[in-house]
Amino acid sequence: MNNLIDILGAFIEKAWDYLCEIFITVILDTIVSFFSEVVDYFTSMRLEMGVQIPFMLGENSPVAEQLSGLKKNSQGGEGIYEGVFNEQTNQLDSIRWIEGKGLDPKIKDLLKEENIVTFN
| DSSP 3-state percent helix, strand, coil across the chain (nearest 5) | 40, 30, 30
Q: What is the pLDDT of residues 44-59, one digit of tens each?
A: 988 999 999 999 998 8
pLDDT per residue as tens digits for the range 109-118: 989 888 888 9
For the chain, the C-alpha Rg in angstroms (whole number) is 13
Number of domains comprising the chain = 1
pLDDT at 3 over 70: yes
State the residue range of the domain holding 101: 2-118
> What percent of the chain shows pLDDT beyond 70?
80
Q: Is the pLDDT of residue 100 over 80?
A: yes
What is the average per-residue pLDDT within 87-109? 89
Q: What separation in angstroms does the CA of 112 have from each of 31, 44, 60, 70?
A: 17, 26, 11, 24
Task: Specify the pLDDT at position 67.
Answer: 80
Could you give the angle at the alpha carbon of 31 between the alpha carbons of 85 and 42, nearest 5°? 25
